[in-house]
Amino acid sequence: MLKGRSLIEPEDFSLSEMEFLFSLAEMIEKDEKYLRNSLKGRLLATLFFEPSTRTRLSFEAAMLRLGGSCLGFAEPGSSSAVKGESLADTIRMAASYADAIVMRNPKEGAALLASRYSVVPVINAGDGGHHHPTQTLTDLLTIRQLLGKIENFTVGFCGDLKFGRTVHSLAKALARFPDIKMIFISPQELILPEYIKNMLKNQNIIFDERENLEKSMPELDVLYMTRVQRERFFNEDDYIRLKDTYVLNKEKMSAGKEKMIVLHPLPRVNEISVEIDSDPRAAYFKQAKYGMYVRMALLASVLGAEDVKY
Ligand code: NCD
Protein backbone atom coordinates (compact mmCIF):
# COMPACT_ATOMS: atom_id res chain seq x y z
CA MET A 1 0.00 0.00 0.00
CA LEU A 2 1.47 3.33 -1.01
CA LYS A 3 -1.62 5.30 0.02
CA GLY A 4 -0.91 7.61 2.95
CA ARG A 5 2.84 6.96 2.92
CA SER A 6 5.59 9.58 3.25
CA LEU A 7 8.79 9.49 1.19
CA ILE A 8 11.79 10.83 3.09
CA GLU A 9 14.66 8.59 1.96
CA PRO A 10 14.96 6.25 -1.04
CA GLU A 11 14.74 3.17 1.23
CA ASP A 12 11.27 4.13 2.39
CA PHE A 13 9.86 2.29 -0.61
CA SER A 14 10.59 -1.35 -1.41
CA LEU A 15 11.99 -2.35 -4.79
CA SER A 16 8.60 -3.68 -5.86
CA GLU A 17 6.92 -0.43 -4.81
CA MET A 18 9.43 1.50 -6.93
CA GLU A 19 8.84 -0.88 -9.85
CA PHE A 20 5.12 -0.25 -9.47
CA LEU A 21 5.69 3.53 -9.70
CA PHE A 22 7.88 3.11 -12.79
CA SER A 23 5.23 1.03 -14.56
CA LEU A 24 2.57 3.57 -13.65
CA ALA A 25 4.78 6.42 -14.91
CA GLU A 26 5.33 4.53 -18.17
CA MET A 27 1.59 4.09 -18.61
CA ILE A 28 1.05 7.82 -18.05
CA GLU A 29 3.81 8.65 -20.51
CA LYS A 30 2.20 6.46 -23.19
CA ASP A 31 -1.28 7.81 -22.63
CA GLU A 32 -1.35 11.30 -21.19
CA LYS A 33 -5.09 11.00 -20.53
CA TYR A 34 -4.53 8.14 -18.13
CA LEU A 35 -5.40 9.16 -14.53
CA ARG A 36 -6.15 12.64 -15.82
CA ASN A 37 -8.83 13.62 -13.29
CA SER A 38 -8.00 11.08 -10.66
CA LEU A 39 -7.07 13.64 -8.00
CA LYS A 40 -9.90 16.08 -8.65
CA GLY A 41 -10.67 18.10 -5.53
CA ARG A 42 -7.42 17.16 -3.79
CA LEU A 43 -4.83 19.71 -2.63
CA LEU A 44 -1.05 19.54 -2.62
CA ALA A 45 1.02 21.95 -0.49
CA THR A 46 4.43 22.74 -1.97
CA LEU A 47 6.62 24.29 0.74
CA PHE A 48 9.96 25.36 -0.73
CA PHE A 49 12.37 26.89 1.77
CA GLU A 50 15.13 26.68 -0.88
CA PRO A 51 15.16 27.60 -4.59
CA SER A 52 13.90 25.09 -7.15
CA THR A 53 12.76 25.10 -10.75
CA ARG A 54 12.26 21.52 -11.94
CA THR A 55 11.27 19.85 -8.70
CA ARG A 56 8.61 22.38 -7.74
CA LEU A 57 7.25 22.91 -11.24
CA SER A 58 7.18 19.20 -12.01
CA PHE A 59 5.30 18.46 -8.77
CA GLU A 60 2.83 21.25 -9.52
CA ALA A 61 2.45 20.15 -13.15
CA ALA A 62 1.94 16.56 -11.95
CA MET A 63 -0.78 17.55 -9.48
CA LEU A 64 -2.56 19.82 -11.99
CA ARG A 65 -2.43 17.16 -14.72
CA LEU A 66 -4.07 14.72 -12.31
CA GLY A 67 -6.89 17.22 -11.80
CA GLY A 68 -5.81 18.40 -8.33
CA SER A 69 -4.70 21.84 -7.13
CA CYS A 70 -1.61 23.28 -5.45
CA LEU A 71 -0.92 25.90 -2.82
CA GLY A 72 2.29 26.91 -1.10
CA PHE A 73 5.34 29.10 -1.34
CA ALA A 74 8.50 29.12 -3.42
CA GLU A 75 10.76 30.93 -0.98
CA PRO A 76 10.88 31.09 2.80
CA GLY A 77 10.71 34.90 2.70
CA SER A 78 7.01 34.66 1.94
CA SER A 79 6.22 32.23 4.79
CA SER A 80 5.98 32.77 8.55
CA ALA A 81 9.39 31.13 8.93
CA VAL A 82 10.76 34.70 8.74
CA LYS A 83 8.67 35.58 11.80
CA GLY A 84 10.32 32.74 13.66
CA GLU A 85 7.63 30.07 13.28
CA SER A 86 8.99 26.58 13.91
CA LEU A 87 8.94 23.99 11.13
CA ALA A 88 6.71 21.79 13.29
CA ASP A 89 4.03 24.51 13.47
CA THR A 90 4.23 25.35 9.75
CA ILE A 91 3.78 21.67 8.95
CA ARG A 92 0.84 21.20 11.34
CA MET A 93 -0.92 24.06 9.55
CA ALA A 94 -0.11 22.88 6.03
CA ALA A 95 -1.30 19.37 6.95
CA SER A 96 -4.64 20.76 8.06
CA TYR A 97 -5.16 22.57 4.73
CA ALA A 98 -3.75 20.09 2.18
CA ASP A 99 -3.93 16.36 1.44
CA ALA A 100 -0.16 15.96 0.98
CA ILE A 101 2.95 18.09 1.49
CA VAL A 102 6.03 18.38 -0.71
CA MET A 103 8.83 20.14 1.12
CA ARG A 104 12.37 21.32 0.32
CA ASN A 105 14.41 22.62 3.22
CA PRO A 106 18.10 23.51 3.66
CA LYS A 107 18.40 21.49 6.90
CA GLU A 108 19.33 17.82 6.83
CA GLY A 109 16.63 15.85 8.63
CA ALA A 110 13.93 18.51 8.16
CA ALA A 111 11.75 16.21 6.05
CA LEU A 112 11.84 13.45 8.65
CA LEU A 113 10.91 15.94 11.35
CA ALA A 114 8.07 17.27 9.19
CA SER A 115 6.70 13.76 8.67
CA ARG A 116 6.48 13.32 12.44
CA TYR A 117 4.24 16.40 12.79
CA SER A 118 2.11 15.80 9.72
CA VAL A 119 -1.11 13.83 9.51
CA VAL A 120 -0.82 13.76 5.70
CA PRO A 121 1.99 12.25 3.56
CA VAL A 122 5.20 14.29 3.41
CA ILE A 123 7.41 14.01 0.32
CA ASN A 124 11.00 15.12 0.71
CA ALA A 125 11.98 17.36 -2.21
CA GLY A 126 15.50 17.76 -0.81
CA ASP A 127 16.76 18.21 2.76
CA GLY A 128 20.08 20.06 2.69
CA GLY A 129 22.98 17.95 1.49
CA HIS A 130 21.22 14.77 2.63
CA HIS A 131 18.59 13.20 0.35
CA HIS A 132 16.34 13.84 -2.64
CA PRO A 133 14.33 10.64 -3.18
CA THR A 134 12.02 11.85 -5.96
CA GLN A 135 15.03 12.87 -8.04
CA THR A 136 16.21 9.28 -7.52
CA LEU A 137 12.89 7.92 -8.80
CA THR A 138 13.37 10.22 -11.81
CA ASP A 139 16.95 9.02 -12.38
CA LEU A 140 16.04 5.34 -12.08
CA LEU A 141 13.05 5.69 -14.38
CA THR A 142 15.26 7.43 -16.97
CA ILE A 143 17.84 4.63 -16.84
CA ARG A 144 15.12 2.01 -17.14
CA GLN A 145 13.42 3.77 -20.05
CA LEU A 146 16.58 4.53 -22.02
CA LEU A 147 18.67 1.44 -21.28
CA GLY A 148 15.81 -1.05 -20.79
CA LYS A 149 16.79 -2.29 -17.30
CA ILE A 150 18.47 -1.28 -14.05
CA GLU A 151 21.15 -3.93 -13.57
CA ASN A 152 24.64 -4.93 -14.60
CA PHE A 153 25.84 -1.38 -15.27
CA THR A 154 28.84 0.73 -14.38
CA VAL A 155 27.60 4.09 -13.15
CA GLY A 156 29.98 7.04 -12.84
CA PHE A 157 29.12 9.91 -10.52
CA CYS A 158 31.10 13.08 -11.21
CA GLY A 159 31.36 16.46 -9.47
CA ASP A 160 30.29 17.44 -5.97
CA LEU A 161 29.79 14.09 -4.31
CA LYS A 162 30.12 15.57 -0.83
CA PHE A 163 27.16 17.94 -0.84
CA GLY A 164 25.18 16.54 -3.80
CA ARG A 165 22.05 15.06 -2.24
CA THR A 166 20.93 13.56 -5.54
CA VAL A 167 24.17 11.54 -5.59
CA HIS A 168 23.64 10.28 -2.04
CA SER A 169 20.10 9.14 -2.76
CA LEU A 170 20.90 7.57 -6.13
CA ALA A 171 23.96 5.68 -4.86
CA LYS A 172 21.94 4.25 -1.95
CA ALA A 173 19.12 3.25 -4.27
CA LEU A 174 21.31 1.71 -6.98
CA ALA A 175 22.99 -0.45 -4.35
CA ARG A 176 19.71 -2.40 -4.18
CA PHE A 177 19.78 -3.38 -7.87
CA PRO A 178 21.81 -6.37 -9.18
CA ASP A 179 25.40 -6.06 -10.41
CA ILE A 180 25.83 -2.31 -10.28
CA LYS A 181 29.39 -1.03 -10.08
CA MET A 182 29.91 2.60 -9.08
CA ILE A 183 32.78 4.95 -9.86
CA PHE A 184 32.93 8.16 -7.84
CA ILE A 185 34.87 10.90 -9.61
CA SER A 186 35.56 14.09 -7.64
CA PRO A 187 38.30 16.32 -6.31
CA GLN A 188 39.63 15.16 -2.93
CA GLU A 189 37.71 17.93 -1.11
CA LEU A 190 34.37 16.78 -2.53
CA ILE A 191 34.48 13.03 -2.04
CA LEU A 192 31.44 10.96 -1.07
CA PRO A 193 30.57 11.11 2.67
CA GLU A 194 31.90 8.28 4.81
CA TYR A 195 28.42 7.07 5.85
CA ILE A 196 27.44 6.35 2.24
CA LYS A 197 30.74 4.57 1.58
CA ASN A 198 30.27 2.45 4.70
CA MET A 199 26.80 1.52 3.60
CA LEU A 200 28.11 0.45 0.18
CA LYS A 201 30.90 -1.57 1.80
CA ASN A 202 28.45 -3.31 4.12
CA GLN A 203 26.42 -4.37 1.09
CA ASN A 204 29.53 -5.57 -0.77
CA ILE A 205 28.97 -3.12 -3.61
CA ILE A 206 31.96 -2.74 -5.92
CA PHE A 207 33.01 0.90 -6.09
CA ASP A 208 36.04 2.99 -6.79
CA GLU A 209 37.00 6.61 -6.03
CA ARG A 210 38.95 8.58 -8.61
CA GLU A 211 39.86 12.11 -9.62
CA ASN A 212 40.14 11.68 -13.38
CA LEU A 213 37.04 11.79 -15.56
CA GLU A 214 38.69 11.22 -18.98
CA LYS A 215 40.27 7.92 -18.01
CA SER A 216 37.03 6.61 -16.55
CA MET A 217 34.87 7.43 -19.58
CA PRO A 218 35.32 4.15 -21.56
CA GLU A 219 33.99 2.08 -18.63
CA LEU A 220 30.72 3.90 -18.06
CA ASP A 221 27.18 2.92 -19.02
CA VAL A 222 25.73 5.89 -17.16
CA LEU A 223 27.53 9.14 -16.38
CA TYR A 224 25.81 11.19 -13.66
CA MET A 225 27.20 14.74 -13.75
CA THR A 226 26.52 17.17 -10.91
CA ARG A 227 26.94 20.85 -10.13
CA VAL A 228 29.29 22.03 -7.37
CA GLN A 229 26.80 22.99 -4.63
CA ARG A 230 27.79 26.60 -4.02
CA GLU A 231 25.12 27.17 -1.36
CA ARG A 232 26.61 24.49 0.92
CA PHE A 233 30.17 25.89 0.93
CA PHE A 234 31.47 27.76 3.97
CA ASN A 235 33.96 29.67 1.89
CA GLU A 236 33.42 31.31 -1.53
CA ASP A 237 37.13 30.96 -2.46
CA ASP A 238 36.88 27.18 -2.15
CA TYR A 239 33.83 27.20 -4.39
CA ILE A 240 35.59 29.31 -7.03
CA ARG A 241 38.64 27.04 -6.94
CA LEU A 242 36.58 23.85 -7.34
CA LYS A 243 33.62 24.86 -9.49
CA ASP A 244 35.14 24.11 -12.88
CA THR A 245 37.11 20.99 -11.99
CA TYR A 246 35.13 18.96 -14.53
CA VAL A 247 33.68 20.16 -17.80
CA LEU A 248 32.19 17.46 -19.99
CA ASN A 249 32.91 18.37 -23.61
CA LYS A 250 32.99 16.69 -27.03
CA GLU A 251 36.52 15.48 -26.56
CA LYS A 252 35.72 13.64 -23.33
CA MET A 253 32.48 12.28 -24.81
CA SER A 254 34.44 10.75 -27.69
CA ALA A 255 36.02 8.34 -25.19
CA GLY A 256 32.58 7.17 -23.97
CA LYS A 257 30.63 4.10 -25.08
CA GLU A 258 28.20 4.51 -27.95
CA LYS A 259 25.28 3.44 -25.76
CA MET A 260 26.27 5.38 -22.63
CA ILE A 261 23.80 7.95 -21.28
CA VAL A 262 24.66 11.23 -19.58
CA LEU A 263 22.34 12.28 -16.77
CA HIS A 264 22.30 15.48 -14.69
CA PRO A 265 19.63 16.44 -12.13
CA LEU A 266 19.98 20.06 -13.38
CA PRO A 267 20.49 22.98 -13.04
CA ARG A 268 23.85 22.77 -14.80
CA VAL A 269 26.35 25.57 -14.48
CA ASN A 270 29.54 24.84 -16.47
CA GLU A 271 29.98 21.12 -15.93
CA ILE A 272 28.37 20.07 -19.21
CA SER A 273 29.28 22.08 -22.27
CA VAL A 274 26.21 23.02 -24.37
CA GLU A 275 27.92 21.41 -27.37
CA ILE A 276 26.97 18.04 -25.81
CA ASP A 277 23.23 18.81 -25.83
CA SER A 278 22.78 17.52 -29.37
CA ASP A 279 24.69 14.28 -28.70
CA PRO A 280 22.12 11.42 -28.62
CA ARG A 281 23.69 10.23 -25.38
CA ALA A 282 22.77 13.48 -23.59
CA ALA A 283 19.65 12.45 -21.65
CA TYR A 284 19.26 15.22 -19.07
CA PHE A 285 16.34 17.01 -20.67
CA LYS A 286 14.44 13.75 -21.17
CA GLN A 287 15.26 12.98 -17.54
CA ALA A 288 13.56 16.22 -16.45
CA LYS A 289 10.40 15.16 -18.29
CA TYR A 290 10.40 11.70 -16.73
CA GLY A 291 10.50 13.55 -13.40
CA MET A 292 6.99 14.81 -14.02
CA TYR A 293 5.64 11.38 -14.97
CA VAL A 294 7.11 9.65 -11.95
CA ARG A 295 5.81 12.41 -9.66
CA MET A 296 2.34 11.92 -11.18
CA ALA A 297 2.64 8.21 -10.39
CA LEU A 298 3.81 9.02 -6.85
CA LEU A 299 1.07 11.55 -6.08
CA ALA A 300 -1.67 9.33 -7.53
CA SER A 301 -0.38 6.49 -5.33
CA VAL A 302 0.18 8.24 -2.00
CA LEU A 303 -3.09 10.14 -2.37
CA GLY A 304 -4.94 6.93 -3.18
CA ALA A 305 -6.38 7.77 -6.60
CA GLU A 306 -9.26 5.38 -7.38
CA ASP A 307 -7.67 3.62 -10.34
CA VAL A 308 -4.33 3.04 -8.66
CA LYS A 309 -4.14 -0.29 -6.89
CA TYR A 310 -0.93 -1.48 -5.40
C1 NCD B 1 19.12 19.14 -7.57
C2 NCD B 1 18.88 19.48 -6.10
O3 NCD B 1 18.09 20.38 -5.78
O4 NCD B 1 19.50 18.81 -5.29
N5 NCD B 1 18.20 19.78 -8.42
C6 NCD B 1 17.02 19.17 -8.69
O7 NCD B 1 16.22 18.91 -7.82
N8 NCD B 1 16.78 18.81 -9.95
C9 NCD B 1 20.51 19.29 -7.99
C10 NCD B 1 21.18 20.62 -7.82
O11 NCD B 1 20.58 21.60 -7.38
O12 NCD B 1 22.37 20.68 -8.16
Give the tens place of pLDDT for each residue, 171-230: 999 999 999 999 999 999 999 999 999 999 999 999 999 999 999 999 999 999 999 999
- Output the CA torsion sign for 197, 127, 5, 144: negative
Report yes or no: 162 and 189 within 8 Å, Cβ to Cβ: yes
Read off the pLDDT of each residue in 222-240 and give the average, rounded to a whole number. 95
pLDDT at 309: 79
Minimum mean pLDDT range among 55-64, 99-108, 183-192, 231-240: 231-240
Residue 29: its H or E element: helix 15-30
168 belongs to the catalytic site: no
In whole numbers, what is the pLDDT of the chain averaged over residues? 96
DSSP bridge pairs for 184: 157, 209
**CA 63 to ligand 1 center in whole angstroms:** 20
Model confidence, pTM: 0.97
Read off the pLDDT of each residue in 255-264 and give the average, rounded to a whole number. 98
pLDDT at 77: 82
Residue range 10-131+290-302 forms a domain whose CATH class is alpha beta
Percent of the chain with pLDDT over 70: 100
d(CA 62, CA 138): 13
**CA 166 to ligand 1 center in whole angstroms:** 7
d(CA 39, CA 241): 48
* Position 26 pLDDT exceeds 90: yes
CA angle 207, 124, 302 (to 5 degrees): 110
Across the chain, where does the E strand assignment appear? 43-48, 69-73, 100-105, 122-127, 153-158, 180-185, 207-210, 222-225, 261-263
Determine the residue of 107, 132, 263 to mutate for testing ligand 1's pocket, defined as the one with the most ligand atoms within 8 A of the Cβ atom.
132
pLDDT at 81: 84
- pLDDT band of 128, cuts 50, 70, 90: very high
Determine the residue of 60, 135, 231 to mutate for testing ligand 1's pocket, defined as the one with the most ligand atoms within 8 A of the Cβ atom.
135
Kindly report, as residue ranges, where domains of CATH 3.40.50.1370 are found in the chain.
10-131+290-302, 133-288
- In CATH, which superfamily holds the domain spanning 133-288? Aspartate/ornithine carbamoyltransferase (3.40.50.1370)
* Position 84 pLDDT exceeds 90: no
